[in-house]
Amino acid sequence: MARSNVTEQSEVFDHEWRIFGTFVSGQKYRNTRYRMQNTGTSKTRKIYFLRLCGRVLVLLVAILVYIFDREQFSAAEGLNFFKKFSLLHILWGLWIYDMVLQLIPVKAHISIGSQKVFESLFRPIKERINYKNLKQYIKDTTASAYKVMIMWIILTAVVSGLFLVGVIDTGIMVLLSTFFYVCDLICVLIWCPFRLIMKNKCCTTCRIFNWDHLMMFLPIVSLHSFYSWSLVIFAFIIWLIWEVCVFTYPERFWENSNMALRCSECTDKLCTQYCRKLRGK
């Protein structure tokens, strides 16, 4: 009987202590509980979905412009870029801005998959790096990456051929790049066909993450205009920096040498369509 009373008193004490703890902790306690219950969709993923919606809107506007005011696409021909302002100038500025963000280390909800190239975001493992395995990893992923590049060059050749023989016009070429602009985030947030070749577990470890703009603009290279060449050259510079870093600082691109790329350290939770499967193991 005495033991039962002690147990009841203990339970009452625990209950009262929890109430006291909630009262003292206040909003901090509720915020912590909220974060624990809402770890499914990260803020970064939500922002990327908003960006995807924005890109879809850009594509729809571009299609409408092509239908009702096709003349505006002449800004992508020759040096017409400097003759008259059009909506294509806004699109060009948006794409240039996106590329600039890949050249500087920023923390404005930009995926670590894109930013892993920078030393400031590199988190070395505590153990000694296995450089033999690292070398093999870079070799294997590079071989897969250049399979993708060959396929994209073939696509570029086909598109260029269709343009040169007059099957498609300048407007369609720009719309194609805008379509790839949308597909870029579809690959990140929904499904990526390149994973079938790359075999990477998620976007964070993707070997070709910052190839996106080069792949986006390479098909319009045959326009031979300031509009096309300025985008392609800038995208090529970003690609070149990325590739130089892959071979100069390979440890930044492998999860077994860079802890920031590990699932257990993931803060982006960007491509949860893949991560959840891995975390369930």
Confidence of residue 29 (pLDDT cuts 50, 70, 90): very low
Confidence band, pLDDT 50/70/90 cuts, at residue 280: very low
Amino acid 31: pLDDT: 41
Residue 4 has pLDDT above 60, yes or no: no
- The number of beta carbons lying within 10 Å of the beta carbon of residue 267 is 10
**Is 204 inside a domain boundary?**
yes
Residue 229 placed within a domain: yes
Q: Residue 65, Cα to own-chain centre: how many angstroms?
A: 28
- pLDDT of 68 reads 96
pLDDT in tens, 136-170: 999 999 999 999 999 999 999 999 999 999 999 99
Give the integer Cα–Cα distance in Å for 181 and 262.
27
Please check the confidence at residue 3 and state whether its pLDDT lies above 50.
no
In order, the DSSP letters of 171-203 are: HHHHHHHHHHHHHHHHHHHT--TTHHHH--SSG
Q: Which two tokens stand for residue 80?
A: 């017409």
Q: What is the DSSP string of 39-107?
A: -SS-HHHHHHHHHHHHHHHHHHHHHHHHHH-GGGGGGGSTTGGGTS--HHHHHHHHHHHHHHTTTS---
The HSE-up count of residue 52 (CA atoms within 13 Å, CB side) is 15
Please indicate, yes or no, if residue 147 is contained in any of the structural domains. Answer: yes
124 beta partners: 258
As for how many domains the chain has, the answer is 1
Q: Above 90 in pLDDT, residue 209?
A: yes
Of residues 27 and 174, more confidently modeled: 174
In a domain, 17, yes or no: no
Split at pLDDT 50, 70, 90, the class of 80 is very high
The predicted model gives 88-116 an average pLDDT of 90
Q: Which residue has the higher pLDDT, 76 or 20?
A: 76
Which residue segment(s) compose the domain that 192 sits in? 43-279
- Is 151 contained in some domain? yes
SS3 for 258?
A: strand
Phi, psi angles (nearest 5°) of residue 258? -120, 105
Domain annotation covers residue 208: yes
Residue 13 has pLDDT above 50, yes or no: no
pLDDT > 90: percent of the chain: 67
**Residue 229 vs residue 19, higher pLDDT:** 229
Poorest-pLDDT segment among 1-5, 108-112, 260-264, 276-280:
1-5
| Residue 3 lies inside a defined structural domain of this protein | no
In-domain check, residue 95: yes
What's residue 5's pLDDT? 41
pTM for the model = 0.81
